[in-house]
Amino acid sequence: MSKIIVRGGRTLSGTVRVHGAKNSVLPILAATLLAEQGSSVIHDVPALDDVRNITQVLSALGVSAEERDGSVRLQAESLTSYEAPYELVRKMRASFLVMGPLLARLGKVKISLPGGCAIGTRPIDQHLKGFEAMGAEIGFGQGSIEATVSGKLRGARIYLDIASVGATENIMMAATTADGTTIIENAAKEPEIVDLANFLNAMGAKVRGAGTGVIRIEGVERLRGTEHQVIPDRVEAGTYMIAAAITGGDVYVEGAIRDHLGPVVAKLEEMGARVDCDENGIRVQAQKPLRAVDVKTLPYPGFPTDMQAQMMTLLLVADGTSIVTETVFENRFMHVDELIKMGAEIKVDGRTAIVTGGTKLSGASVCATDLRAGAALICAALVADGSSEIGGVHHIERGYMNIVNKLAVLGADIYRAPSPEEILMQSEQASLQPDVLLQQLEQRASAKADVVIRNIQPTLA
C-alpha cells in the first residue's frame, strides 16, 4: 500500500491553486449522457480516481471521452448500453448519477445498488421516489435496480424528505427532457447544484431556481453538447485554508470563492485567524493562538460535512474546548480514533464530539478511512511532533489532485511513498531497478519542495 509520510513542524506559506470541483464534475460528466447531438467539452476536470471511474462508466455506456490538458471532450450521440457495470458502480457512489440521464435518454436503465460506505448507509430512496413520481417502474434483483418508463418521463411535483444533493441532481437531469414541468421541493442548494443547472441550461434545458429550495424544470425536446468550465473545488480550498491555519501559516488559496465558503471563513475568523478574500482567491493568516469554537454541519449554506474532519483537527490546536456536531451523515467520526492515536483528546457521544484543544499531537502511523478523514490526518500530521505515516491513500486520491506536491510547494515536509506494486510498475516503465527508482523518487521529492518554496515566497510580500 502507498503511504503519505509527513514530518510535522513546518509553517505553510505561499500560493496554492484549487482544481475544478469533484462534486460538480461528477454530475456534469453524468449529464453529458443527455446530449443527443454534438459533443460536450468540460474544462478544469481534475485528474482524480473518481473522475477516471465515472469516465469508465460512461465509456461502458457508449460515450467516447478524450482528455487533453485538463479538458475532456465527450461524445454521447449513440449510446450502446443501458447497463452501468457493477464492478465500476460499486467503486464509487456518484456513478449512481447516471441513472437519471439514462432514464431520460433511453427510458431504461440497469444499475447496481451503490451501497453504503464508511461515513454512513447512504440510501437512495429519494432518488427512486423522484423517478417513480415521473412514471418510472422500478424493480430490484440481485443487488441491482432495473427501471423502465413507457414513453417519456412525465413532469411531476416532488418533495424531497431530505435535501439530498445526489437526489436533486439525478431528478433534475431526468426532468430535463420529460413531458411537462417538474418541481423539486426541499431541493439541495449546494453550489454544485447551480453549476450542474448552468451546464444543463447551456445544453438547452430549462432549469430555474437552482440554488434555492424549489427548482422548476420545464421539459424540452432534446439537449445538445456544449462547453463548460467547472467551478473551483470549495472543499479542496477549505482544506488548504485549514492547513494554513493549523501551521500558523500564511497561504493564498487561488480560485477559492468566498461565497461558496461562507461558514468556513466565518469559523476561521471566530477562531482568530485573519481571512482576506478577493475576486481571485482567499488568503488565510493565523499567526496568533486560535480560540475554540463550536461547529455543526448542515446542508448548504450551513457548515459542510465535507469540512468537518479537517475543522475538528484545527480545533485540536485551539485554546479551549469545542463541540462538533455532525447532522448530515450518521457515522462521520471515523477520523477520531486515528487522531487519538496522535495524542488528540476527543470524546464522541452519538453525533457530537467534544474536542479538547491545546493538546500536543505526535506523529503516528494512521489510516484514512475516507477521503476527508485522510485530509484531516494530513492536517494533524503537519503540526505533530515527529513523523506520521498515513495509509488509505487511495481514499485521499479520490478527491485531492497532487495534494502532496501542493503542500510541499507550501513548505510542508511531505512525501508519497509508492506501494511495492507502484514501484515495480514504474521501474519497469523507466527500465530501472526498483531500489534505484525508489532512491530517485525520494531525492526528487525533497529537492522539488525546496526549489519551489524559494520561488514562491516572494509572492507573499
Ligand X SMILES: CC(=O)N[C@H]1[C@@H](OP(=O)(O)OP(=O)(O)OC[C@H]2O[C@@H](n3ccc(=O)[nH]c3=O)[C@H](O)[C@@H]2O)O[C@H](CO)[C@@H](O)[C@@H]1O
Ligand Y SMILES: C=C(OP(=O)(O)O)C(=O)O
- Point out which residues bind ligand Y (CB under 6 A): 23, 93-94, 119, 306, 371-372, 399
Angle between helices 22-31 and 191-202 (to 10 degrees): 30
Q: How far is it, in rounded angstroms, from Cα 149 to Cα 52? A: 30
379 counts as catalytic:
no
Stretch that binds ligand X, among 65-73, 118-126, 406-414, 426-434 (CB under 6 A): 118-126
Q: How far is the CB of 266 from ligand Y (least distance, A)?
A: 20
DSSP for 286-328, please give it: --SPPBP--EEB-STTSB-GGGHHHHHHHHTTSBSEEEEE--S
Q: How far is the CB of 122 from ligand X (least distance, A)?
A: 4
Triad 422, 423, 426: Cα angle to 5°:
80
First-to-final CA distance of the chain: 40
> Is 5 annotated as contributing to ligand binding?
no
> Is 276 annotated as contributing to ligand binding?
no
Cβ nearer to ligand X, comparing 42 with 273: 42
Residues in contact with 308: Cβ distance below 8 Å, sequence separation at least 6, in sequence order: 295, 297, 324, 326, 332, 372
**Among candidate residues 384, 435, 444, the one with its CA nearest the CA of residue 416:** 444
Reading the block at residue 120, the C-alpha cell is 454512513
> Is 23 annotated as contributing to ligand binding?
yes
Sheet of strand 181-185, all strands in order from the earlier edge strand to the far edge: 157-159, 181-185, 214-218, 206-208
Stretch that binds ligand X, among 119-127, 149-157, 209-217, 249-257 (CB under 6 A): 119-127
> Is 328 annotated as contributing to ligand binding?
yes
Q: How far is the CB of 428 from ligand X (least distance, A)?
A: 34
Residues in contact with 279: Cβ distance below 8 Å, sequence separation at least 6, in sequence order: none
**Among candidate residues 174, 160, 172, 165, the one with its CA nearest the CA of residue 122:** 165
Q: How far is CA 225 from CA 28, 76, 149, 194, 202, in A?
A: 12, 8, 24, 18, 8
* Residue 344, amino acid: A
> Is 123 annotated as contributing to ligand binding?
yes
Reading the block at residue 287, the C-alpha cell is 499567526
Reading the block at residue 96, the C-alpha cell is 449512481
Cβ nearer to ligand X, comparing 10 with 22: 22
167 binds ligand X (CB under 6 A): yes
Query: Which among ligand Y, ligand X, none contacts residue 399 (Cβ within 5 to 8 A by kind)?
Result: ligand Y
Residues binding ligand X: what is the number (CB under 6 A)? 22
CB distance 61 to 80 below 8 Å? yes
Q: How far is it, in rounded angstroms, from Cα 101 to Cα 91? A: 20
Give, as ranges, the residues between 294 and 353 that touch ligand X (CB under 6 A).
305-306, 328-329
Cβ nearer to ligand Y, comparing 317 with 371: 371
Give, as ranges, the residues between 21 and 50 that touch ligand X (CB under 6 A).
23, 26
Residue selected from 31, 54, 89, 165 as contacting ligand X according to rule CB under 6 A: 165
Query: Which among ligand Y, ligand X, none contacts residue 164 (Cβ within 5 to 8 A by kind)?
Result: ligand X
Cβ nearer to ligand Y, comparing 396 with 449: 396
CB distance 410 to 243 below 8 Å? yes
Query: Which among ligand X, ligand Y, none contacts residue 124 (Cβ within 5 to 8 A by kind)?
Result: ligand X
Reading the block at residue 361, the C-alpha cell is 499531537
> Is 259 annotated as contributing to ligand binding?
no
The residue annotated as part of the active site, out of 117, 277, 367, 379, is: 117
Residue selected from 32, 40, 55, 164 as contacting ligand X according to rule CB under 6 A: 164
Q: How far is the CB of 405 from ligand Y (least distance, A)?
A: 20
Q: How far is it, in rounded angstroms, from Cα 197 to Cα 176? A: 10
Cβ nearer to ligand Y, comparing 335 with 372: 372
CB distance 197 to 170 below 8 Å? no
> Is 306 annotated as contributing to ligand binding?
yes
Number of Cβ atoms within 10 Å of the Cβ of 264:
27
Using Cβ positions, the residue closest to ligand Y within the complex turns out to be 306
Query: Which among ligand X, ligand Y, none contacts residue 165 (Cβ within 5 to 8 A by kind)?
Result: ligand X
Cβ nearer to ligand Y, comparing 223 with 371: 371
Cβ nearer to ligand X, comparing 54 with 314: 54
Residue selected from 16, 41, 54, 124 as contacting ligand X according to rule CB under 6 A: 124
Which residues contact ligand X by CB under 6 A? 23, 26, 93-94, 120, 122-127, 162, 164-167, 188, 192, 305-306, 328-329
Q: Would you name the residues annotated as active-site residues?
A: 117
- Point out the annotated binding site: 22-23, 93, 122-126, 306, 328
Detail the residues annotated as belonging to a binding site for phosphoenolpyruvate. 22-23
Q: List binding-site positions for UDP-N-acetyl-alpha-D-glucosamine.
A: 93, 122-126, 306, 328
